[in-house]
Amino acid sequence: MPYFINPIEEDQCVFLTYAGKMPPLEVVAARYEASGLLAAKHWNQIVVDVTASRSVEALELLDLVRGLTADLPRRSRVTLAMRPEQAKYTNLVEEIARNAGVLLALFFDAEEALSWVKGATSQKRTQRRPSDKPL
């Protein structure tokens, strides 16, 4: 299987990793599966790692982000880890997410992306008043 979906309970986040060569149909299937898991758990954060994928090129990357932002509820947080050679597409990727009302953070390392999510999650927890209900 060229993709892996890992729900991270303590961060209320889904980690979606694409690896190897993936046909477009599998990219879509993985996206739907990850979005469904987010909806079922009532979470709004997803880390998408395409650094190990050989098949996610310019148009595919833009389609992936378009599809993710269309499937996710507004105010969702997408953290995308991509290869450095894809850096020239960051402006387009950010614009797609912004137009969909999705908060997007871009990284060139999957560990940094996950650390960013962990930091954002712990910051959100400390900002809550004790009487606030968990998100």
Per-residue pLDDT reduced to its tens digit, 93-130? 888 888 877 788 899 988 898 888 877 655 554 333 34
pLDDT at 74 over 80: no
**Domains of the chain, with CATH numbers?**
3-127 (3.30.750.24)
Could you tell me the two tokens for 11? 């961060």
Backbone angles phi, psi at 4, to 5 degrees: -135, 135
| pLDDT single digits (tens) 39-71 | 899 988 899 998 888 766 666 777 777 777 777
Question: Which comes out higher in pLDDT, residue 77 or 1?
Answer: 77
Query: Side-chain half-sphere of 39: how many Cα atoms within 13 Å?
Result: 11
pLDDT value, residue 125: 43
| pLDDT single digits (tens) 19-38 | 888 777 888 888 889 988 98
41 within 8 A of 25, measured Cβ to Cβ? no
